[in-house]
Amino acid sequence: MQRRNVVNCVSIPSLQSPHQFSPFLEVQDTKLSTFVLAGGCFWCLDAVYQRTRGVHAVISGYIGGRTKDPAYREVCSGTTGHAEGVAVIFDPQVVPAEVILDMFFTVHDPTTLNRQGYDVGTQYRSAMFPLDDQQRDLFQDAIEKFSRVYPNPIVTTLEESKDFYPAEQIHQDYYSENQEVGYCRVIIDPKIAKVRKYYAQWLNEA
């Protein structure tokens, strides 16, 4: 898979200056939509959405916290209040918004509070960050939809925060650059296989 360049392709209001990117990141194509989602380690969501048709870019970053421009170690300490999340920039004429959200609720467990597998802490919480009222309604509908799918109650939160800080360059497209790393093979590979099982028609790779 060809590595994607995340520079100059984000459309999140109030985007803060990132770690190793130009501070002027914006999308000129108004037909694109942006969802900001958190579901455990951002490497997992990034890996799935990077392989989804109609997705123009995925940016891993930090959102929902109290401090400005946090670093990875700070977020991992659980003291900043940020969640590891991704900004998914996609063309809804190619991949419906509902499919992006269905993948989100499939690739992670939205019923475990502040935990995804071995990753424990508020930074790994299941959360959605609507950028407007329309997204809020769409996200709420998705939560209600999957509350009928999972046997346990969904703990995914809807949070008000538009201050998204892109993570350091090493965390961008992490899976594609590190597929032989143990975490990728043990944790991310099964997630991609699960998404491929249910959403193969929406993926770029067979």
Residues annotated as part of the active site: 41
Say if CB 100 and CB 52 are below 8 A apart. yes
Q: How many angstroms separate the CA atoms of 156 and 153, rounded?
A: 9
Decide: helix, strand or coil at residue 169: helix
Q: How many angstroms separate the CA atoms of 101 and 129, rounded?
A: 12
Give the C-alpha distances (Å, rounded to integers) separating 10 from 27, 87, 126, 143, 164: 5, 8, 22, 25, 10
Type of residue at 199: Y
Phi, psi dihedral angles at 188 (to 5 degrees): -80, -40
